[in-house]
Each structure stands twice: as C-alpha cells, then as structure tokens.
Amino acid sequence: MVDIVDTNLSELTTDALDQLNTHTKGDIAFIGCARNQVALDGRIVGKVPDARTKAYKKWTSLHQKPEIYKEIQPDTGSAMAVAEGLISEYGQRLSAILVWSDPFAIGVMRALSKYHLLPGKDLAVMSFDDLEFSSFLTPSLSSIWIPKTELGFQAILHAKSLTSLKRNWTVRNIIPGKIKYRETFNPYK
C-alpha cells in the first residue's frame, strides 16, 4: 500500500502546453532534468523520469508535434547552452520553450538576449516553481506555482494520521498548483 502526497504537475504541464500551442504558431521545446532516486543512506541509485517530462512527451505524441526535449544537468549554465543550441537549430520554427524550473529559465532568457530575442514577444517562455524573483525579472517570467510548503505540511499531517489510524486503503493527497501568467507568456493580454 502506497499513499501519495503530490501536486498535479502532469495536468499543469498539459494545460501550459495547450495554452502555448493555442497562442503561438511554431514548435514548443521542453528543457528538463531527470530526478535522482536516493537510497535511505543518501546514495543516488538511479534516475526517475519527471512528471513534467512524461507529460510533455505524451502531449507531443498525442498532438503529433515534434518532440524537442533537451535534458540538462541541473544548472542555469546548462539551460543557457541548450537554449542557444535550440535557437541555432530551430530558428523561427521555435515559438515557445517550457522550462523545468525558474533558475533554468534565467539561462534560457539570457540565451535569448544573446540572439536579440525578447521573451514574450519573439519567443514564449514558461517555467515551473514561481520563485519570488520570477515576477521581478524583466520581462517578468510566466511560471507555474508548485505548492511546496503546502505539500510539506500535508505530508506531516498524513504521516501523523498513519501513526494513529489503522486502515486498509490508500490515500492520494493532490494539492493543485497554479499557472501564473506574466510577460514572457500571457494568453490573456
């Protein structure tokens, strides 16, 4: 029996891709990162496919769109280098980049500026986390808020309930995130 405390990353990814597809005219790339599987002793024992990556690949297949997925090391510089490669390879066919996290999106935005492209005008950019700085960037970064504090709080409550309640069913606690549209992509302006 496995209980889950999670957010709706797959649904949010699909919603973002649907909006990008509706409001842009070209291909949509995804810059992602694998999640590490960690043993109880702290050793990394493998890689786990991320929900965002799986949702992107499923979405491109379902919509018969080219899969332009680039997996990077988890750092801003890698995101910048990959974005430069995407711009060089796809040029004007590329209309949007969905990015695994806000810090990586900074690298993407830096790459766009090197090519004199303006995020939100020349190329849509969306990311995940909605970290505080996202709204202060110029242009401000459209980002998907992930309820990290709420997930932690619910996990503690759930663990506490497991110690006091004997049950024979599984529980799925899904705390929804939210898309925060700003200047790098806003279908409502």
- List pLDDT tens digits, range 131-163: 999 999 999 999 999 988 887 878 888 888 888
Cα–Cα distance, 135 to 17 (Å, whole number): 21
171 assigned to some structural domain:
no
CATH number at residue 66: 3.40.50.2300
| Residue 157 forms part of a structural domain | no
Domain presence at residue 180: no
Structural contact between residues 22 and 28, judged by C-beta atoms closer than 8 angstroms: no
Average pLDDT over residues 81-100: 97
Residue 173 lies in a domain: no
The total of structural domains in the chain comes to 1
* CA-based nearest residue to 71, from 51, 84, 53: 53
**Among 74, 77, 54, 56, residue whose Cα is nearest residue 65:** 56
pTM, two decimal places = 0.89
The structure tokens 């004007």 sit at 92
What angle do helix axes 76-90 and 102-114 make, rounded to 10 degrees? 50
